[in-house]
Structure 1
Amino acid sequence: MPNRLRVLAAGSVVALIAVLIPPTAQAQQDFAITADVPTLEELDSQIRLLVGTPAPDHVKAAQLEGGDRAVVVPKMVYRIGFFRPPRGNSQVTGPETHDGDRHTAVINASRQGSPTIQVVAEWRRIDGRWKLANKSLCNGISTLGLPIPCNFQ
Structure 2
Amino acid sequence: MSEKPSTNDIRVAASSWESLFRAQVAVMRRIQRGKEFHELALREYDVLFTLSSCPSGWLRLNELNDHVLLSQSSLSRLVERLETRGLVERTTAPEDGRGVLLRLTPEGSELQKRIGRGHVQTIAEVMLPALTREEMKQLEVLTDKLRAGVVANS
Q: TM-score, normalised by structure 1?
A: 0.27
Q: Which has the higher helix share?
A: 2
Q: TM-score, normalised by structure 2?
A: 0.27
Q: Which has the higher strand share?
A: 1
Instruction: Give the structure, 1 or 2, with the largest relative contact order (CA under 8 Å, sep 6 or more).
Output: 2
